[in-house]
Amino acid sequence: MKRVLILGGTGDASELAAKASTLPVEVRVSLAGRTREPHNVSENTRIGGFGGVAGLTTYLCEQEIDLLIDATHPFATQISFNAAAAAAELGLPRLMLVRPAWQQIPQDWWQEVENVEAAADALTEHAKRVFLTVGRQQLGSFAHLDVWFLMRLIDPPEENATVPKGLLLYNRGPFDLTSERQLLTQYEIDTIVSKNSGGSATYAKIIAARELGIKVVMVKRPSVPIGEQVEDAESAISWLASKI
């Protein structure tokens, strides 16, 4: 039986792993270990970095992996480029599951920026009370600003991390429209900073911002490696089925 490694850390990866387990293929899932209590961890899940391209290549060889599916978050580019390099070196078939980016519609008020640092720069003019949803690792980029932040995270920041002034809120998606609308109103938010993650789990805040006329500073997607791509778990399953 062939063996597939799914690089995860997303809801799409969990859905894919669950669906793949119904196929005649041995499924392994890899998580970076960023979340303290990850969901959907099974005996087939390994946790932690591989040690760059060399470490990943060694893992793929030692574990006799036949197929690689990169279902990591669209902003997790280091692991995606490492996966591309390791798969190329070994001649392994590799697929990327990349959910489509959110698209701005005429009722939205977005300012699109290239990266998180540019998002911080974009706040200097008018923002006073900002809903920051970029994850705990990049909070430090906003700490120098004279702005109040509502920061939603899955886990607390590291002990020595620089945290902007404001309120830390711990919660894990999916989030619904009613509660997002309520949150924005309750904390009198005037601006949201979001990565263009795509998908439905965190989209309600974008709809709520649209309804309430709140500005969204939207961090654009970084580039991903060249290679075969699908947009959802269903299509990744079709790819997998065609390879086994």
Residues of this chain that interact with ligand NAP (CB under 6 A) are 7-10, 30-32, 34, 49-52, 55-56, 72-73, 75-79, 82, 135, 195
Q: What is the distance, to the nearest Å, from the Cα of residue 34 to the centroid of all Cα atoms in its chain?
A: 12
Least spacing, CB of residue 185 vs ligand NAP, in Å: 26
Q: How many CA atoms lie within 13 A of 237 on its CB side?
A: 16
Q: Is 152 helix (H, G, I), strand (E, B) or coil?
A: strand
Q: In what order do the strands lie in the sheet with 215-219?
A: 110-113, 215-219, 191-195, 129-133, 148-153, 166-170
Q: Note whether 212 and 181 are within 8 A (CB).
A: yes
Nearest to ligand NAP of 190, 198 (CB atom): 198
Least spacing, CB of residue 112 vs ligand NAP, in Å: 17
Nearest to ligand NAP of 72, 141 (CB atom): 72
Per DSSP, the chain holds a count of helices (H) and strands (E) of 7, 12
> Which value, in Å, is the radius of gyration of the alpha carbons in the chain?
19
Tokens of 74: 């669209």
Which stretches of 98-153 are DSSP H helices? Answer: 116-122
Least spacing, CB of residue 70 vs ligand NAP, in Å: 8
- Polymer length of the chain: 244
Nearest to ligand NAP of 190, 236 (CB atom): 236
Least spacing, CB of residue 76 vs ligand NAP, in Å: 3
Nearest to ligand NAP of 39, 242 (CB atom): 39
Nearest to ligand NAP of 14, 191 (CB atom): 14
Q: Note whether 68 and 87 are within 8 A (CB).
A: yes
Nearest to ligand NAP of 30, 191 (CB atom): 30
Least spacing, CB of residue 104 vs ligand NAP, in Å: 20
Looking at beta carbons, which residue is closest to ligand NAP?
49
Tell me the C-alpha distance between 27 and 46, whole Å: 11
Q: Note whether 158 and 88 are within 8 A (CB).
A: no
Least spacing, CB of residue 137 vs ligand NAP, in Å: 6
Least spacing, CB of residue 53 vs ligand NAP, in Å: 8
Nearest to ligand NAP of 30, 141 (CB atom): 30
